Amino acid sequence: DAAINRIAAGEVVERPASAVKELVENAIDAGASRIEVCYADGGKTLIRVTDDGCGIAPDDLALAMSRHATSKIDGSDLLDIHTFGFRGEALPSLGAVGRLTITSRVDGFDAAVIRVAGGQTDPVKPAALSSGTVVELRDLFYATPARLKFLRTDRAEAQAISDVVKRLAMAEPQIGFTLRDVSGGGEGRVTFRADPETGDMFDALSGRLATILGRDFAENAIPIDAEREGLRLTGFAALPTYSRGAAVAQFLFVNGRPVKDKLLTGALRAAYFDFLSRDRHPAAALFVSCDPHLVDVNVHPAKSEVRFREPGVARGLIVSGLRHALANAGH
C-alpha cells in the first residue's frame, strides 16, 4: 500500500506549490474564513496551512489518511461536485512523500493529532488546539531524493506557492489569506495578505483584484457579465493600457476552480487582438460558470486543464463578451 501511495503521490504532488494547492483547497472546502500558509525554504523543508474551518473529528483523522477516503461525495453524481476535493487522494499522497502532521478540532470534541511519515501512520493522539485544522508537511520528498533534484531554487518554488495562493485567493474573495515565509524561524515575513472581502460578487472581486493586482488596476478594469448557450462569463477585464509584458495577470476560473487552459487564454488573447501588440498580454480575472455536465474540469488531478463539451461556445463567449465590453468602454 505504501508503494501504491508513493506512485499515486507523484501524480498529485509535483512540487511544494502542488501540496499548498491541495491543503488550501481542503481548508476552503472546510468552510474556513481565514487561511494562513507558512513555508520555509521554498516549501521544501516546511509547509504549514492553518484554517478556522469545521475541523476533523478524532475518529475521522485516521480515515482521512486512507486512500480514497473523502467526506465530500457519496459517489452518486461525480459531475455534481461543489467542493475542490472529491478524490480523497491528497492527504495520503502527502503522507507518502513527506512528514505529515494533522492537528484538528471539531466543536464538541477534544483536539487530536495524527502523524504520517513515509506512508507509516502513527495512532491518533490528544492535542491542544482551540479550533480548526493545522496541517504541517515537513521535508517534502525526503524519501525520494530523485524527485528532490527536480525542484527549482527556493525562490522559484516560493514564487510558485505565491502564484497558487493568489489564484485561490482570487477565486474566494470572502476568505482572508496570509502567506508567510518562515525560513529564518519565528514569525517570519508576510509575503502576501488579503483581508476578507464583503459585498456582492462584483464588489468582493473588485476589492480582491485591488489587493492582488493593485488599486489602479482594479479601478480601471471593466466589469464583464455575458452569457451564451448555458455558459456565463463574469469578472473583470483590464483596459488594453493595463496589459502586461507577461501573462502573469491572467486569472481564469471554470466553475470556481483556477485553470490554466489554452482554449481560454487563446480566446482572451483573441478578444484583445486589435488592441495589443504581440509582446503584450491582457490582464483579467474571468469566471466561466455552467452546468457541470457541460465541462470536465477534472481531466487530471494536478493539472488545471478543462474540456468543454462545446469549445466553440466557450471561445465565442469570451471573445464576444470581452469585445462588447471593450467597445462600450470606448475601444
Residue showing the smallest CB distance to ligand ADP in the complex: 85
Rounded to a whole number of angstroms, the minimum distance from the CB of residue 236 to Mg ion is 28
Q: Which is nearer to ligand ADP, 25 or 181 (CB)?
A: 25
79, 246, 284, 295 from 287: Cα distances, Å: 19, 20, 10, 13
Residue by residue, what is the 3-state secondary structure of 249-271?
HEEEEECCEEECCHHHHHHHHHH
Rounded to a whole number of angstroms, the minimum distance from the CB of residue 100 to Mg ion is 13
- Site of interaction with ligand ADP (CB under 6 A): 22, 26-27, 30, 51, 53-56, 64, 70-72, 85-91, 133
By a kind-dependent CB cut-off of 5 to 8 A, residue 176 interacts, out of Mg ion, ligand ADP, none, with: none
Q: Candidates 89-97, 125-133, 149-157, 296-304: pick the segment binding Mg ion (CB under 5 A).
A: 89-97
User: How many chain residues bind Mg ion (CB under 5 A)?
Assistant: 3
The one among 53, 85, 207, 235 contacting Mg ion by CB under 5 A:
85
Q: Which is nearer to ligand ADP, 89 or 172 (CB)?
A: 89
Rounded to a whole number of angstroms, the minimum distance from the CB of residue 290 to ligand ADP is 22
Q: Between helices 311-328 and 262-271, what is the axis angle to 10°?
A: 30
- Kindly state the helix (H) or strand (E) to which residue 156 belongs, with its residue range: helix 154-171
Rounded to a whole number of angstroms, the minimum distance from the CB of residue 85 to ligand ADP is 2
Q: Which is nearer to Mg ion, 22 or 181 (CB)?
A: 22
Between strands 250-254 and 284-290, the pairing is parallel
Q: How far apart are CA 271 and CA 294, in angstroms?
A: 23
Q: Which is nearer to ligand ADP, 45 or 70 (CB)?
A: 70
Q: Looking at the DSSP assignment, which residues form a beta bridge with residue 193? A: 178
- Find out whether 147 and 141 touch, Cβ atoms under 8 Å: yes
Site for Mg ion in 7-46 (CB under 5 A): 26
- Find out whether 102 and 134 touch, Cβ atoms under 8 Å: yes
Q: Which is nearer to ligand ADP, 72 or 309 (CB)?
A: 72
Q: What is the DSSP letter of 246?
A: S
